[in-house]
Structures are given as structure tokens and as C-alpha cells.
Amino acid sequence: MNGPDLSTRPALSRACLEARAFQPIIDALTAHVALLDGDATIVGVNAAWMRYADANQGHQADYGIGLNYLALLEGVQGCVPGDAKSEEDTLIARQVAQGLREVLSGRREKFQLEYPCPSPTESRWFLVTITPFPHPGQLRVVVAHEDLTALKQAQETTLRQTAQLAGAFSSTVDAIALFVEKRDPYTAGHQHQVAVLCERIARRMGLDAARRHGLVLGAKIHDIGKIAIPADILGKPGRLSPPELEIIRSHPETGYDILRGIDFPWPIADMVYQHHERLDGSGYPQGLQGDAICLEARIIAVADVYDAITSHRPYRPARPMETGLCELMNGRGRLYDSEVVEAFIAVMQTPEKAQQL
């Protein structure tokens, strides 16, 4: 790249000489830095800028010094129609040019933009920052292109590992749920069905995706405490004796004891502990009332009651859907959260969803 003869432009020549005073400072920066005058003409560049230019464009005699940076950006805008990469380059150049104009005019204190910059060997990312800096009597602007490639790659690795961990965690929860249900074949599928109901209720209530995900995981293992209950009690076909009933009622606390030491990002241990609590305090094991019961546990309670009523049990056949709905309607506001029940009824009134349940 051959820039203009600076000897014919005294003002530019002076600006370039003044820029050299900053050379030790900007050479210490790892970002690719160019100093511009008030007309957006390049009056100085740092060593990183030169190295990048040499590596990507071949050795440059002047590295753009004396050229107008806005003109360089506008030159990028002759894109090839239909070429997605060319069109993306054009859009980026236009955004940077507009940001530079706003900084030069004083309408903006700083402009920043992340942008991709693929090379033949790798995909790279940069952050361009445009800022003015004090200079006696004249405006000067710094344009810095910082290489974000390593940071982006680290972020992508972290996201990939997080997704893998989340998948492994969900699979572990599913395995625990399956283990619980293997011990109680009469309620096989119950936790899964409760989880499906909970997700639909929560979606209807407008809970965000992250909270719904935690709720579903909690619902899938809400009966984990039953692993400590003897199989002959779980599968007993007749009425349970008072001592046996007490053992059955211990499963929320047992489940809580199993889970409370795990640092979940959701209150899963509390969901398990509280899913048999009732608004009026008549539930167990703590006798909690109202808002002392977490919302997730109130949602699980509604789904759990409905599925228990409408599913086969060793001591009775499955009851009609209407029986489950009637129980929830009769207990709405007293035993069960009114908003949760209303959301559940709305879900059930959607024909295709009701048919799937």
C-alpha cells in the first residue's frame, strides 16, 4: 500500500510527527492501534498493527499512514451481491464508519463493536474501540482492534462443557427416577407423568425456561425418598396400618435428607420436602402453610394429586379424570394454590394436551 507523499501535505506531516511521541505507549499495546486526526486520516499505527498487516496483506511500506480511515471503510462496501461473507463485511464496515463519524462529531464518547474476521486458517474475532483523546488544539482519535479469538474460544469451550454437564445431570436425574420406580412397579411412570404436568402448568403460568427446567428435574425425583421404604409396604394391595402410613409419610423428609447436601441451582430439595404440604397446614411432614411452601412444590402437589387419583394403585383401580379435577377444584385456595389449579384446568381444557395426558 503506497500512501500519499506527506511532503506535499505539511499539516499531515506535522500530525504524523506528533503521533510518534505516542509510539512507545501504543507499541506496548497488544491491540492493533491506529491514531487518526480530526479528518479520520491515519497519522500513526503501532507495532501490533504492522505485524498483523504483514501477516495478512504482505509487507506494507507505510501501513496506511496518510490514508483516510473512513475512505478505507467505505471501500469495503463494494460487496458481491449474494455473497454472505462479503455482505457481512459491508455491514460491519458501515457500522464502524458510522461509529467513527459520531465520535469525530462529538455525538458519541466511545464506539465499540465485536466482529468476526475469518482468515484462511481459522475463525477470528475482534473488538474495535474508537475513542477521542485530548490533544492541544486538535482532535485526535484512537482506533483499536483487540483480538478476542482466544476469549471467544474459551467461551465456546465453557458453553460446550456446560451443555455436556447439564446433559449428564439430567441423565443422572432420569436414572434416579427410574431406580425409584423400579422399586414400586405399581407407580411406574408416575414421576415422569408428574414432571410432564408440571412443565405444562409452569409454562401456562409464565415461568421462565430456567425455572421450568428446575421444576421438571425436581418433579422427576419428587418421590426419591421412597427408596428407603420396604417394597412390601409400597406394593401392599390393602389398606395401610397406621405405622405403615407413617413410614410412607416419611418419604418427603428422607428425600430431603438425600438431596439437601447437593448444591442445585434450583430448590430441588425443598420441592421434594414440601410436595405433600397443603396451604391450610394440613399437609406433611412440616405442616407448612401458604407461601411458606415454595411455588415449585405447590405445582408438584397439584400434578401429583391428579396423577395419583387417575392412575392405578395396588389398593384400587384408576379413577376417572373428572374425579381428579373435582378434587383439585374442591381444594382450590384451601389445600391447593388457586393460580396453579387454574393453570392446570386451562391445560386440561386444551383438547390435544388433555388427550396426551
Enumerate the active-site residues.
226
Secondary structure class of 357 (helix, strand, coil): coil
Helix (H, G, I), strand (E, B) or coil at 126: strand
Beta carbons of 269 and 254 less than 8 angstroms apart: no
Strand ranges of the sheet holding 111-116, from the earlier edge strand across to the other edge: 42-45, 32-36, 140-147, 125-133, 111-116
Q: Is 19 exposed, middle or buried (0-12, 13-18, 19+ CB in 10 A)?
A: buried
CA-nearest of 289, 285, 222, 286 to 249 is 285
Question: Are the C-beta atoms of 191 and 223 separated by less than 8 Å?
Answer: yes
Q: Considering only CA atoms, which of 268, 251, 250, 247 is closest in space to residue 259?
A: 268
CA dist 81 → 68, 96, 117, 118, 296 (Å): 26, 21, 19, 19, 53
